[in-house]
Structure 1
């Protein structure tokens, strides 16, 4: 949430905690077994841990609480940037997997068709995937086989399917439109087709 925080840890011995729990009259008293279990599992905060810092440790008997320091930490302290564990993950649209499969298959079909029709090997080709979508690709000076294209398509789809199902690791939102997928696939093919 990008807010300033601090941890105030009040030290009290387990016996004192049990005594306080036993004298509660607000209906929020823990059963003795539950309190024992909580005390056994309790982990003391540490100033070395990011989310516990800044840490102010105060004994339950102290009358001199560092209130000014706590107030400064909450009102003027640094705001820690979010890490991957706390950041919201950009979600892919529900039809992203279909778009990925359909667009990459269309591009492979258009590439095989264009190679067969033109009879030329290599160079820059403009492929028509739909009336509104065209892609330019530069091929090596040889015939690209269907099996090679299908293998590269499977690798490309597997690589991006993970981003769709698990959430992407790329910064910002990812564009899963047909045009974006076609552009990414063309770049992937150009980088992975061997001469």
Structure 2
């Protein structure tokens, strides 16, 4: 039910802070009096995903690596766990993407900015084994491109800053943020758009064509107009006919307008949220309503 994003220079101590935070949160969850929703704490990191520092040497390898991080993060997000994302997270656009993924499933979020001077990061990097160290040029490039988190933007807030000289993390404040902080509902920009069925276009065309033929035939045998029943599959819909004969060209015009409107919804994914209603019966009912509004009496 919470996502904590760790951000900072490479080799600034992010993993150390993630470990400290994980131990603190696990202790809070295991307390005898705790009755909240959290059941586990998970750390998603470059190390846990087997990503070497060399993936940051160029954009060709870095972009797929970020994709791997994001995909695995999404798999871990749930309403009963705390997920700590321990990676560089140095691009504000990526932090916003992470924020949107969490907000979509109504998770509380916060960001921890791990601060250490660039000179100290370079020193610590030189003490690492070769296979775990960043190259000098990569480290300098990442530090130069780093986009610092800001408490003024919603995807970084609430923001907690931890200095290299601090002995521990502000566990109590972080715990309060992820348990009682503001829980913002997802907005239109973060909600998943419902997708239409793969055969929706075929069903749309077939259903409207069938109805057009049946309405023209019914109008010819019922020139006085009135309600007539149309059977489409297992659905029975009522269509109000005008007191005259409806022509084929007139029905084709109305059908083209109706199909154009709904084809756009299908192809662009702008269908109704929460469920897709492009079944044969529902299309028939909608088309009957459209006919009633657009056929001249």
Q: What is the TM-score when the length of structure 2 is the normalising length?
A: 0.57
- The SS at the match of 1:45 is coil
- Residue 117 of structure 1 aligns with which residue? 221
Does 2:112 correspond to 1:12? no
- Residue 33 of structure 1 aligns with which residue? 137
User: Which of 241, 255, 258 lines up with 1:153 in the alignment?
Assistant: 255
Deviation at 1:115, TM superposition (A): 1.1
The CA RMSD measured in Å over matched residues stands at 2.6
Deviation at 1:8, TM superposition (A): 0.7
Q: Deviations over 1:125-156 (max 9, x none)?
A: 222345x3322122445544322322222222
- Residue 22 of structure 1 aligns with which residue? 126
- The SS at the match of 1:50 is coil
Deviation at 1:169, TM superposition (A): 4.0
Does the aligned pair in 2 maintain the 1:100–1:157 contact within 8 Å? yes
Question: Are residues 138 and 14 of structure 1, via their aligned partners in 2, closer, same or farther at CA, if it must alter by over 3 Å?
Answer: farther
Unaligned stretches of 5+ residues in structure 2: 1-104
Q: What is the TM-score when the length of structure 1 is the normalising length?
A: 0.82
Aligned length: 193
- Residue 161 of structure 2 aligns with which residue? 57
Question: Are residues 164 and 55 of structure 1, via their aligned partners in 2, closer, same or farther at CA, if it must alter by over 3 Å?
Answer: same
In the TM superposition, what are the counterparts of 1:18-167 in structure 2 within 5 Å? 18-25=122-129, 27-63=131-167, 65-120=169-224, 122-130=225-233, 132-141=234-243, 143-167=245-269
Deviates more, 1:111-120 or 1:164-173: 164-173
Deviation at 1:32, TM superposition (A): 2.2
Unaligned stretches of 5+ residues in structure 1: none
Could you say which structure has the larger radius of gyration? 1
Does the aligned pair in 1 maintain the 2:235–2:281 contact within 8 Å? yes
Counterpart CA distance in 2 for 1:22 and 1:155 is: 68
- The SS at the match of 2:228 is strand
In the TM superposition, what are the counterparts of 1:182-193 in structure 2 within 5 Å? 182-193=284-295
